[in-house]
A and B are shown apart, each in its own frame.
Chain A
Amino acid sequence: MTWFLDHLALVGSLLLVHAWLAVVPLLLGLIIAIPLGWLAERNRVLRPILVVGTGLLYTIPSLALFILMPLVLGTGILDPLNVIIALTVYTVALLVRTVVDGLSAVPETVRQAAIAMGIGGARRFFTVELPLAVPVISSGLRVAAVSNVSIVSIAALLGIAQLGSLFTDGFARDFLDPIVVGIVACLVLSVVLDALIIGVTRVLTPWVAARSAA
């Protein structure tokens, strides 16, 4: 506890970087996964390729991906961009299937009714199908958020400072305090992100609460 209080500023700044490195890929991944999911949902040939293909990306070990990034991107090994892009890959891996599931869960009668009312292509996607898929996508996003918070810490092995640095530091010095503080800070960050996603989802989907109350 004393260690924590003495290093409040350090932990705070590491937490901010950690949050930044976890959240930016989450948003980028969502933005990429939505069109991919849309494509997979409507195209029978692309569907298995996209869903299985992106899913496989998640099986690449994170350490390996972090190390590969500079080679692929030509970035420096300490560039946080490596982490952001690698985690975007993981987020896409987790979310494409979720987006497909969410869009597939839109009842066919609703889709038909929309077509019959002359609600065409893009308008139908953004005003009918995507809004109805929000609850499912949101649950996938919560998994991805927690996954990102946990994977970011591995980047400490490459020397990119964030909460994971507390683990490497504690481990190197055989000193438990920073490790415990790091774990707690990761937990707090996960819980806050989770609550944030739940909150935003509630605002976007007042009809879900109405349904469960009915």
Chain B
Amino acid sequence: MITFDKVTKVYPDGTRAVDGLSLDLPTGKITVFVGPSGCGKTTSLRMINRMIEPTSGTIGIDGRPTSSLDPVTLRRGIGYVIQSGGLFAHRTVLENIATVPLLLGWGKAKAYGAARELIERMGLDASLTSKYPAQLSGGQQQRVGVARALAADPPVMLMDEPFSAVDPQVREQLQDEFLRLQAELGKTIVFVTHDIDEATKLGDQVAVLRVGGTLAQLAPPADLLADPVDDFVADFIGRDRGYRALAFVAAPALPIQPEATVELGATREQVAAVAAGAPWVLVVEDGAPVGWVAPERLGATVGRDDLHRGGTVARVGGSLRAALDAALSSPSRRGVLADDDGRLVGTVSATDVLTEIERDETGPPS
């Protein structure tokens, strides 16, 4: 566990970056520091590995104050991922990842072995091993950055806006991979972001900081969305809180209806027969839903260009938010549900999802 005890940082020019911050960051969990710029989130992060020294107060790791530890030894035992990777442009991917193991004196064979293992684990192609960072895409660089931080298998990882420099689609992918990895590794992670959606998606607990470096609220994401402690937190979390909170509620057994489908490539006549007058028919390919078609706007057969792709697909057993969104985004108003392998299970209406939400007697999650 990492503990902040009345930690304050005042810069020589009088700027109070962090002010009396006290909180616990449990072992094996992700704690996210989130807040507007100037809230001291990065300063707080960097005080953990003593890149910045607190003016007063104590930070402890497993009960030992970091001030009692040698900064270099401390840092080599803490993984650090920085925005846009901070990779060494003059070193190959393998050398970058092996940096800390080599510094720790593991020897080349063991250090590079560990680095190769991580390249695989991060889903990076083995052919990238001897490439230089400039030859990688933004997403690949970020994965190498995470791999480098993990290389010496540190129990603690500090991540400073690690995914903010990549485009939204890649960011989401990186976030999902990160959560999968964390489920395997169980590191104690401190994650800094200015993006509240990222914070609620990734955090086991979220610490919202205000400008001036004080803690506004520390809570699990669902509680934060359901019960913001004051106007500042409510404003910072933003709109659609009720809807977003549904992301943290697993969907109960929904009344899933069977859906008549046509295969991709079916003829106009086949579609008309299945539709039986309905305005939209679901198209599947090898059992996986691929989109909806409107029978009257169809050519001779169902091609990919005919598909309406606005509808999202929810996973059975996923969140209520995903199920509701599938229904709301579907042109037929029937939300498509698939199993873990992506095969169609059936559809559910928004009304049925809402009924489930209302039936949940606990009210909004708290």
Contacts and interface: CB of A to CB of B under 8 A. Distances in A.
Interface of A: 107, 109-110, 112-120, 128, 131-132, 134, 205-207, 210-211, 213-214
Given A109-B82, A210-B134, A115 B89 contact: no
A157 B262 CA distance: 95
Given A210-B132, A214-B134, A118 B82 contact: no
Interface in B74-91: 74-76, 78, 80, 82-91
Given A112-B82, A118-B100, A120-B72, A211 B90 contact: no
Contact of B90 (A113, A115, A116, A132): A132
Nearest to B71: A118
B134 A211 contact: yes
B75 A110 contact: no
Contact of B86 (A113, A118, A131, A213): A113
Contact of A118 (B73, B85, B145): B73
A117 B103 contact: yes
A62 to B, nearest CB: 36
Main secondary structure of the interface of A (DSSP, over half): helix
A114 B82 CA distance: 10
Contact of B132 (A109, A110, A131, A207): A207
A74 B216 CA distance: 72
Contacts of B72: 118, 120
B87 A110 contact: yes
B158 interface: yes
Interface string B122-133: 000000000111
A207 B134 contact: yes
Contacts of B135: 210-211, 213-214
Main secondary structure of the interface of B (DSSP, over half): mixed
Nearest to B131: A210
A137 to B, nearest CB: 13
Interface of B: 49, 51, 71-76, 78, 80, 82-91, 99-100, 103, 131-135, 145, 148, 158
Given A112-B51, A117-B103, A118-B100, A207 B89 contact: yes
A206 B90 CA distance: 8
Contacts of A207: 89-91, 132-134
A118 B131 CA distance: 24
A118 B103 contact: yes
Given A207-B133, A207-B134, 7 more contacts: A112-B51, A117-B76, A117-B99, A118-B72, A119-B103, A205-B90, A211-B132
Contacts, number: 74
Nearest to A204: B90
A113 B131 CA distance: 20
A214 B131 CA distance: 10
B90 A117 contact: no
Contacts of A110: 86-89
Nearest to B134: A211
A182 to B, nearest CB: 41
A113 B80 contact: yes
B75 A116 contact: yes
Contacts of B134: 207, 210-211, 214
Given A118-B76, A205-B90, A113 B132 contact: no
Contacts of A115: 51, 75
A116 B49 contact: yes
B158 to A, nearest CB: 7
Nearest to A106: B89
Given A116-B158, A211-B135, A109 B85 contact: yes
Nearest to B165: A109
B360 to A, nearest CB: 44
A109 B86 contact: yes
Contacts of B71: 118
A206 B131 CA distance: 10
A207 B91 CA distance: 7
Contacts of A210: 131-132, 134-135
Contacts of B86: 107, 109-110, 112-114
B88 A128 contact: yes
Nearest to A205: B90
Nearest to A121: B72
Contacts of A119: 99, 103
Contacts of A214: 134-135
A214 to B, nearest CB: 4
Contacts of A112: 51, 82, 86
A48 B87 CA distance: 30
12 contacts: A109-B85, A113-B82, A113-B87, A116-B49, A116-B51, A116-B75, A116-B80, A118-B71, A118-B76, A207-B91, A207-B134, A211-B89
Contacts of A120: 72
Contacts of B83: 109
A214 B87 CA distance: 16
Closest 7 CB pairs of A and B: A113-B86, A116-B80, A211-B134, A118-B75, A109-B86, A118-B76, A214-B135
Nearest to A214: B135
A114 B132 CA distance: 17
Given A207-B132, A210-B131, A210-B135, A117 B89 contact: no
A211 B76 CA distance: 29
